[in-house]
Amino acid sequence: MRKGTQEASFIDEQRILEALDAGKKYSTSDVLDVISKAKELKGLELEELSALLWVDDPEIEEEIYKAAREIKEEIYGKRIVFFAPLYVSDYCVNNCKYCAYKIDNDYSRRKLSADEIQEEVRVILDMGHKRIALEAGEDRVNCPIEYIVEAMETIYDTSSANGRIRRINVNIAATTVEEYKMLKDAGIGTYILFQETYHRDTYRRVHSGPKADYDWHTTAMDRAFTAGIDDVGLGVLFGLYDWRFETVALLMHAQYLDKTYGVGPHTISFPRLRPAYGMSLRDFPYVVADEDLKRIVASLRLSVPYTGMILSTREEPALRDEIVALGISQLSAGSMTGVGEYTESVQKAIDSLRYDEPPQFEVGDHRSLDQVIQDMLPHGYIPSFCTACYRSGRTGENFMSLAKTAHIHEMCQPNALLTFEEYLCDYASPETIDLAKPVMEKALSEIRPESLRKECEKRLERIKSGERDLFF
């Protein structure tokens, strides 16, 4: 453990095992009681979550899924917020067994220059995105914090015909309070760090390099809060260890943050192990089945109703569409997961170039953003590019008090309509525009109170007349 590092004692393996054991003994009527409790939107205890994870009756499973859909819609409405990842550097000094960027993989590494970042951002903007998740490997020499801060400045400064990126979430290695302060000053949205696995022995087995320090990694969010970052995103790389253990541990971490800082995780992500250069899924005995992933997402939606839940393009389209219905509130789309790949993909389409470096992992959903939107509109979802909370100071406790009382959808729905209208004016295909009309009309009619709906109508007209970046 690094000198001065706090021990991550809030992840208590014995308590997790006890909760798993207790949940296994719940009767059908006990589980139905848990589902009823979850519908009150107050969240669940570890043991209750565990009971949901052990259910093997398809009818009760369907009840869990139904409740997950209801809870997501009660808190966030039908909106799904989109973002794109941007990989700026694949230098990495770690040797994580599951990742293409591990130091043992021999290929020519690079980080993007400011000009290259601008090119990447323009490709992302021209798809219609307004949010970026900035990603980089860990290498304090080749990719120091100053480079990340400059990359953020470059991203915020880059404009395309119809605007700029409005929010940058950052996913970089665990670091110091001082460096988190630098990210805060540079305008970070959410600081995202996946735990990979909460199980200490597994963590030790799959990591080497500075990241192998479990306590340093697991207490990263404490340092981020100390630095003043109040939106943090958790996640597990499902497939490294037993999925039930990991799911209960995730809730334990979320509860700890909520209790300690008065703010639970802003988001939770559900990456699953994917094939990647230099690794084989055959070496990982805990690979998670599709049905299990659905259970994880739905059960966590019942357990931490106020938290945004993110699904990436790791998953195949059909499964993504199914899982979205179970409580997902944010999606990446049109993603490239290698350094410089957005620009290269444009180039590749022109002259059939091959990428020189491997992506961090293989993407499962290759649909364009517009195609994903077309596929979700018939289900009544409202695509959103909203960044309003972050820019209105609704972060941390301010945000949580709205989310926990299920009032946030009063903001989400009008903001989804305003930002989707921008998308329709600036980027959408004719097919998307046709599909969007009835969804927009219905969503507008649902906005309450009346005064808010009228104001939203006015702002939609202003957007159609050429104004941009209006929000509530």
| Residues in touch with ligand SF4 (CB under 6 A) | 81, 92, 94, 96, 99, 101-102, 137-138, 173, 211, 384, 386-389, 408, 411-412, 415
- Closest by CA position to 47, among listed 419, 411, 303, 237: 303
Rank residues 63 and 230 by Cβ distance to ligand SF4 and give the closer one.
Answer: 230
Rounded Cα distance between 331 and 312, Å, is 6
Rank residues 138 and 258 by Cβ distance to ligand SF4 and give the closer one.
Answer: 138
- Closest by CA position to 167, among listed 308, 284, 304: 308
Rounded Cα distance between 342 and 344, Å, is 5
Q: How far is the CB of 208 from ligand SF4 (least distance, A)?
A: 10
Q: How far is the CB of 308 from ligand SF4 (least distance, A)?
A: 7
User: Token pair for residue 150?
Assistant: 């400059």
Rank residues 23 and 358 by Cβ distance to ligand SF4 and give the closer one.
Answer: 358
The total of other beta-carbon atoms located within 10 Å of residue 345's CB is 16
Rank residues 8 and 96 by Cβ distance to ligand SF4 and give the closer one.
Answer: 96
Q: How far is the CB of 202 from ligand SF4 (least distance, A)?
A: 14
Q: How far is the CB of 244 from ligand SF4 (least distance, A)?
A: 23
**Chain-centroid distance, C-alpha 405:** 22
Radius of gyration of the chain measured on its C-alpha atoms = 21
Q: How far is the CB of 21 from ligand SF4 (least distance, A)?
A: 32
Would you tell me the crossing angle of helices 450-464 and 409-426 to the nearest 10 degrees? 20
Matching residue, tokens 């390099």: 209
Q: How far is the CB of 173 from ligand SF4 (least distance, A)?
A: 6
Rounded Cα distance between 146 and 143, Å, is 8
Rank residues 172 and 249 by Cβ distance to ligand SF4 and give the closer one.
Answer: 172
Q: How far is the CB of 81 from ligand SF4 (least distance, A)?
A: 5
Matching residue, tokens 């945000």: 399
Instruction: Give residues with Cβ within 8 angstroms of 263, minimum separation 6.
Output: 225, 230, 231, 257, 396, 397, 400
Rank residues 35 and 99 by Cβ distance to ligand SF4 and give the closer one.
Answer: 99
Rank residues 20 and 84 by Cβ distance to ligand SF4 and give the closer one.
Answer: 84
Q: How far is the CB of 328 from ligand SF4 (least distance, A)?
A: 13
Coil, strand or helix at 87: strand
Rounded Cα distance between 188 and 469, Å, is 19
Asked if 254 and 302 touch (Cβ cutoff 8 Å), the reply is no
Rank residues 49 and 408 by Cβ distance to ligand SF4 and give the closer one.
Answer: 408
Asked if 170 and 119 touch (Cβ cutoff 8 Å), the reply is no
